């Protein structure tokens, strides 16, 4: 019979796990503190340990260390309702077998335990080598985000090409930067290229560079992004927007890792890692023959799908408080979020995902009456965001008032103010013009 040690301070969860795992035929020992766990693990190795992360003055990571030093082949499964990318990275680095977000389905836990059992029967794997990691700003403890952190922590130290897919504002660029910062290339440049906003005719020289005189207007040599990112990472954003001719060029590049600037006689080798992102469904575009299948496979080596915010609403409280703290610091405010306000935020669909939430919190922090962000304030903000594109001839006094407040908080910076207001910059200019403030 396979033995398992369960380390969990919550009695309910502990007993549920004992009953369930015993029913599945395991011999389960369970403890509620780190010191008991560590004592047992030094006296007596276990092949499988399931441990909570936040326990007492020590954590599941200490349990992990004890388990590994007692028995290097031990499979340690960590679980937490407050996982962060740092804890997941740290757990991966120290050789945890898996990280399970709480609350979990018992069947899911059983599946992980079965995999751990199978792995324990196999020879040990080398630990991946990740050096000390900078603290990140990526927020979210939902099961979906924990899955994303796992992929990031495995893919980052390798040179593999990564394809990040997700709706607008889900954090694609943030993930790309994080992968770069956690890789051996962190000291070299990270060069983003927004393939969607660059005219097809310019993309070539933007990426590959151009020598002076190679086209009209090329009055000097221009280094392309791929060369600028040498020994670092290039981030090809909105890759689904490039035209078929250029898709072929890019495929060649991924195969050869060579660049030939416009007008240059011969190609040069470059050493770049490629991370691509798209908010369109590339697999579908491939089926519809709008995106080359061979290029898709070249890019999709490590796929990361970022879930929309509405599918991980449990992350909204964390994100909202994180952005609120930042807005309070940045604008020297003392806004507070009430329970009802938070509930209203959690119920909204967030078509603009995390970015929209961030801007709405900034706006609410600046505009909330008495510094209280309550349900009414949230519902008002949501209503005015969705009607932002409805043109109106006369500006309501309150709107003009809001614009003035936001502009003042943003130190007169119009781009920032437009973002906080959730409108385009040109819309803000139009409104300012009407207000007679331009």
Q: Which is nearer to ligand ATP, 356 or 384 (CB)?
A: 356
CB 262 within 8 A of CB 211: yes
Alpha helices in 44-161 (DSSP H): 60-70, 85-93, 106-121, 143-155
| Joined tokens for residue 220 | 């000097």
Closer residue to Mg ion in complex, CB, 197/216: 197
Min separation Cβ 85 and ligand ATP, Å: 9
Of 296 and 323, which CB lies nearer to ligand ATP in the complex structure? 323
DSSP classification of residue 136 = P
Count Cβ atoms within 10 A of the Cβ of residue 12 and give its class: 0-12 exposed, 13-18 middle, 19 or more buried: exposed
174: partner contacted, choices Mg ion, ligand ATP, none (Cβ within 5-8 A by kind):
ligand ATP
| Nearest distance from C-beta of residue 174 to ligand ATP, angstroms | 4
Residue nearest to Mg ion (CB): 173
Nearer to ligand ATP, 98 or 165 (CB): 165
The residue sitting closest to ligand ATP, measured at its beta carbon, is: 171
Contact footprint for ligand ATP (CB under 6 A): 137-140, 166, 168-174, 279, 354-355, 358
Find residue 31's DSSP bridge partners. Answer: 7
> Nearer to ligand ATP by C-beta: 208 or 350?
350
DSSP strand E in 335-395: where? Answer: 336-337, 372-373
Two tokens at 146?
A: 């924990």
Residue 147 in tokens: 């899955």
Place of tokens 């109106």: 392
Smallest gap from residue 322 Cβ to ligand ATP (A) = 6
Among 36, 86, 173, 258, binds Mg ion (CB under 5 A): 173
Select 141 or 402, whichever has its Cβ closest to ligand ATP: 141
Pattern of binders to Mg ion over 119-158, x per CB under 5 A?
A: ----------------------------------------
CA 75 – CA 77 distance, rounded (Å): 7
- Whole-number Å distance between alpha carbons of 91 and 24: 27
Judged by CB under 5 A, which stretch of 69-77, 85-93, 97-105, 171-179 contacts Mg ion? 171-179
- Is residue 166 within 8 A of residue 305, CB to CB? The reply is yes
Judged by the rule CB under 5 A, the positions of this chain that interact with Mg ion are 172-173
């Amino acid at each position: 019979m396979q033995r398992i040690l369960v380390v969990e301070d919550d009695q309910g969860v502990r007993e549920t796990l004992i009953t369930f795992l015993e029913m599945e035929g395991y011999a389960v020992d369970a403890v509620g503190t780190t010191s008991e766990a560590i004592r047992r693990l030094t006296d007596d190795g276990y092949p499988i340990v399931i441990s909570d992360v936040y326990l007492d003055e020590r954590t599941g990571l200490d349990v992990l260390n004890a388990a590994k030093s007692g028995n290097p082949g031990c499979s340690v499964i960590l679980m937490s309702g407050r996982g962060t990318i740092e804890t997941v990275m740290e757990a991966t680095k120290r050789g945890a077998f898996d990280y399970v977000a709480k609350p979990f389905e018992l069947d899911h836990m059983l599946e992980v335990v079965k995999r751990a059992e199978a792995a324990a029967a196999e020879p040990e794997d080398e630990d991946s080598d990740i050096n000390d990691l900078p603290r990140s700003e990526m927020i979210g403890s939902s099961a979906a985000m924990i899955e994303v952190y796992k992929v990031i922590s495995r893919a980052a130290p390798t040179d593999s090409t990564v394809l990040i897919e997700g709706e607008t504002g889900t954090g694609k660029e943030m993930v790309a930067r994080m992968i770069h910062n956690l890789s051996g290339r962190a000291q070299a440049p990270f060069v983003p290229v927004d393939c969607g906003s660059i005219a097809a005719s310019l993309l070539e020289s933007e990426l590959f560079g151009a020598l002076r005189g190679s086209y009209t207007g090329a009055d000097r040599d221009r280094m392309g992004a791929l060369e600028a990112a040498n020994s670092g990472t290039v981030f090809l954003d909105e890759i689904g927007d490039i035209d078929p001719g250029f898709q072929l060029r890019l495929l060649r590049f991924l195969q050869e890792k060579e660049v030939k600037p416009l007008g240059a006689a011969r190609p040069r080798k470059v050493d770049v890692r490629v991370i691509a992102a798209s908010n369109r469904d590339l697999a579908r575009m491939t089926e519809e023959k709008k995106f080359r299948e061979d290029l898709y496979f070249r890019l999709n080596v490590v796929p990361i799908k970022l879930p929309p915010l509405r599918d991980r609403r449990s992350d909204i409280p964390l994100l909202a408080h994180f952005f609120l703290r930042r807005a309070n610091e940045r604008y020297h405010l003392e806004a507070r979020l009430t329970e009802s306000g938070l509930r209203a935020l959690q119920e909204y669909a967030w078509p603009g995902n995390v970015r929209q939430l961030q801007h709405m919190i900034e706006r609410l922090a600046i505009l909330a009456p008495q510094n209280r962000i309550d349900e009414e304030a949230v519902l008002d903000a949501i209503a005015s965001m969705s009607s932002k594109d409805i043109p109106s001839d006369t500006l309501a006094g309150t709107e003009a008032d809001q614009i003035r407040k936001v502009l003042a908080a943003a130190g007169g910076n119009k781009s920032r103010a437009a973002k906080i207001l959730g409108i385009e910059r040109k819309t803000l200019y139009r409104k300012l013009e009407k207000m007679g403030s331009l």
